[in-house]
């Protein structure tokens, strides 16, 4: 995978941010945000964790799947989803401009497309023999 190191670095930073956001949600924001805003914030944290871990695995699996281009596409879609979905939800939950919430669905679609690319890589790739 051509950009594997960059994806692993983004995953590391993303997982650090998700960890900090989780701590903030459980300590500093629990009494500040509305119940709905806190639930949205926690959903974004969860999805950021899942996709950060997925992104961390993709460069390691790309050759094994035998479809590095599809695995790379999945990685970039996970990055886009993290920035668009999680970013928009965080900003919205913290009282940012309501219009920012409009980009969250594009991030969700990017996450879904990324997982479809992972499945396609597994099905169409020429996997290495163990």
Is 129 within a domain? no
Sign for the pseudo-dihedral over CA of 94, 95, 96, 102: positive
pLDDT > 90 fraction of the chain, expressed in percent and rounded: 83
Is 130 within a domain? no
Is 23 within a domain? yes
Phi-psi region of 9 (alpha: psi -120 to 50; beta: other; left: phi over 0): alpha
The answer to whether residues 65 and 102 touch, using CB atoms and an 8 Å cutoff, is no
CA distance 36 to 39: 5
Residue 127 confidence (pLDDT) above 80: no
Q: Which residue has the tokens 């999805």?
A: 47
Whole-number mean pLDDT of the chain?
A: 93
Is 19 within a domain? yes
Is 17 within a domain? yes
Is 110 within a domain? yes
- Number of domains comprising the chain: 1
CA distance 35 to 119: 36
Is 51 within a domain? yes
Q: Which residue did the predictor score with more confidence, 75 or 2?
A: 75
Residue 130 confidence (pLDDT) above 60: no
Task: Identify the domain containing residue 81 by its residue range.
Answer: 4-124
Is 26 within a domain? yes
Work out the average pLDDT over 48-58: 96
Residue 129 confidence (pLDDT) above 60: no
Cα angle 35, 12, 55 (rounded to 5 degrees) comes to 85
């Amino acid at each position: 995978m051509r950009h594997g190191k960059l994806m692993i670095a983004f995953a590391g930073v993303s997982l650090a941010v998700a960890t900090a956001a989780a701590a903030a949600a459980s300590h500093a924001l629990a009494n500040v945000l509305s119940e709905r805003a806190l639930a949205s914030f926690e959903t974004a944290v969860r999805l950021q964790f899942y996709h950060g871990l997925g992104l961390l695995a993709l460069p390691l699996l790309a050759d094994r799947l035998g479809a590095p281009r599809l695995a790379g596409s999945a990685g970039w879609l996970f990055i886009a989803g993290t920035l668009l979905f999680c970013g928009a939800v965080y900003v919205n939950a913290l009282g940012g401009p309501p219009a920012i919430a409009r980009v969250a669905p594009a991030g969700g679609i990017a996450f879904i497309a990324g997982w479809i690319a992972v499945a396609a890589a597994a099905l169409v790739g020429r996997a290495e023999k163990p």
